[in-house]
Homo-oligomer: A and B are copies of this chain.
Amino acid sequence: MALTDPDRLFPPEPRLRDLARALYLSVADLPILSPHGHCDPRWFAENARFPNPAELFVVPDHYVFRMLVSQGATLPELGVSRSDGGPVEADPRAIWRRFAAGIHLFRGTPSAMWLDHSFEHVFGLTDPLTPANADVVYDRIEDCLARPEFRPRALFERFGIEALATTEGALDDLRWHKMIAESGWHGRVITTYRPDAVVDPEFEGFADNIARLGETTGENAHTWPGYLNAHRARRAFFRAHGATATDHGHPTARTENLEQADAAALFDKALRGTCTAEEAEAFRGQMLTEMARMSLEDGMTLQIHPGSWRNHSRTVLEAHGRDMGFDIPRRTDFVGNLKPLLDAVGMERELTVILFTLDETTYGRELAPLAGAYPALRLGPPWWFFDSYEGIRRYRELTTETCGFYNTAGFNDDTRAFCSIPARHDVARRSDCAYLATLVGTGRLREAEAFEVAHDLTHRLAKEAYRL
C-alpha cells in the first residue's frame, strides 16, 4: 500500500477529480525550478553523504522541532545546540525516537505530507512512521544515506531540478558556488544576493559589515556613493555566480524615496550607530528603492519578504540563538509602505519586484490590487506557514479574481530541508490543479485554458519572473 494517496488534494467530486488528475499528470513530470530557498550550497560542492536521519529530518527543520517543542519537547532533547555550549542530545537515534513519539502532532499539517512523500518517494518506505517502528524506519533511511545514489548531487538529479537558487549574504565569498562551477557537474545551483547585514542599521555588527563591504569591493563604502557602488560590485559578483535575483527580509514593507543628500545623511547616522528605530526603518526602506533602481540597471529580480517578527521568544533566543522556529508573522501594510518605491519605479516594465506576505489579509485587499495595476509587481507564492494546500487555495481564491494568474510568479519552496523539495512542488502542482479544475467545473475557465495555465504556473511563470 502507498504511503500517500495518488489522488491527494484533488476535489472530491468525481468529475472535478478526474479533471484535476488530468491537469496534474500534464505537469507532474516537468522539471523543478526552485528560484528561492535556503539549501546549503556546500552539499552540492562537496557532495558528501548526509550524516544521519535526525540531521536530515529533525535538527535543521524548524517546522518539525517547533511543533515538538510546542507540545513539551525541549530543544536540547532534539539536538539543537545551546548558546552556552551546554550538553544537548547527541545520539541521532534518540532524537529520532523523540520525533516519532510526537508524530501524531503533525496530523493535518503540510509537514506530515512532506514527510510521507519523502519517506515514500526518496526512501521507498511503505508504512507510516509510528513510535513502534521508529527504529526500523531509522535503519532504513540510514542504509540509504550510506549509498552513493543518496548523495546530494544524485538526489538533485533524481528530483529533476532544473535550477536551484540558494541565498547568501552580501559578504559571502560564494566559495561553494565556485567549487560547484569548477567541478564540471552540470547541476544548476545559483546564488541570490541577500544584503540584510549591510542594509539594516540594526543588524549585529552593521558598521563592521560595511567596513568589510568596502574592503571586499575596493570601494569607499563609508560614503553614500561608494556604498552604493559597493552594492553594485557585489551584485555583479553574485551575478557571476549565477544570481538572477536579490532578496530582502525586512520587518515591514516600508520603502522610502529620499533626496540623495538626505539618504546620505541617514547612512552616516547608521554608520555611527546613532539611528533611532524610526531612522533605521527609513534607511532600510530607502535601500529597497535603491536596490530597485540597481535592478533596473542590471536586470536582477527583487524579492521582498516582509512582516516576520524574528526570534519572538527571548528565552529561546538567549538559550539557543537565532532562527529556532520562533519567528511569528505580523500584520503588514503594503499600500502605504510601498508607495515611495512604486512612485519611483512601479511603472517600469523592465523591472520585476516580487512581493511575499505572511499576512493573508493583504492578498485581496492590497497585494492583488497592486500587482494587478503596477507593471513592475508580481506576487510571490504563499510563503512559509502558508506553503500548504489550504494556503495555496486561499491565495488563488483571493488573488486570481483581481490580478489573474499572470501577475503571479510560480512556486517557491523556500526550504532548507532538501528532501522536501519534490514534496513541496508536488503539493503546489496538485493544489493549483485542484483550483483550476474547480474553475473549469464551475464554468469560470475553459478546459483548454486550464492546461495552459497549469503549465504556466508550474514552470513558465517562475522562469520568467526570475529570468532563469
Contacts and interface: CB of A to CB of B under 8 A. Distances in A.
Interface of A: 4-5, 7-13, 15-16, 66-67, 69-72, 104-110, 112-113, 128, 309, 312-316, 325-326, 328-331, 333, 335-336, 339, 342-343, 346-347, 349, 358-361, 364-366, 368-375, 377, 385-386, 388-391, 397-398, 400-407, 438-439, 441-446, 449, 452-453
B385 A7 contact: no
A16 B313 CA distance: 41
Contacts of A16: 12
A108 B12 contact: no
A43 to B, nearest CB: 27
Contacts of A325: 373
A399 B398 CA distance: 17
A409 to B, nearest CB: 13
Given A67-B372, A312-B339, A364-B386, 11 more contacts: A5-B443, A8-B442, A67-B404, A70-B373, A70-B374, A104-B406, A104-B449, A108-B453, A313-B346, A330-B366, A385-B402
A373 B328 contact: yes
A389 B396 CA distance: 13
A313 B338 CA distance: 11
Report the 3 A-B pairs with minimum CB-CB distance, sorted nearest first.
Answer: A8-B443, A5-B443, A12-B13
Given A5-B443, A444-B8, A453-B107, A315 B329 contact: no
Contact of A405 (B72, B108, B398): B108
A346 B404 contact: no
Nearest to A367: B328
A385 B404 contact: no
A9 B401 contact: no
User: Can you tell how many copies of this chain the complex includes?
Assistant: 3
A11 B9 contact: no
Contacts of A360: 361, 364-365
A452 B365 CA distance: 33
A366 B443 contact: no
Contacts of A333: 331
A375 B70 contact: yes
A402 B69 CA distance: 13
A370 B442 CA distance: 33
A12 B440 CA distance: 10
Contacts of A128: 446
A71 B407 contact: yes
Given A12-B15, A315-B346, A401-B385, A445 B107 contact: yes
Contact of A372 (B70, B335, B445, B449): B70
5 contacts: A104-B406, A113-B444, A309-B336, A328-B370, A364-B385
A70 B403 contact: yes
Given A309-B335, A325-B373, A108 B9 contact: no
Contacts of A67: 372, 403-404
Given A107-B449, A389-B442, A371 B113 contact: no
B109 A9 contact: no
A16 B7 CA distance: 14
A316 B347 contact: yes
A404 B398 CA distance: 24
A128 B445 CA distance: 11
Most buried by B among A309, A374, A438: A374
Contact of A335 (B312, B339, B364, B377): B312
Most buried by B among A11, A373, A374, A390: A373
A98 to B, nearest CB: 14
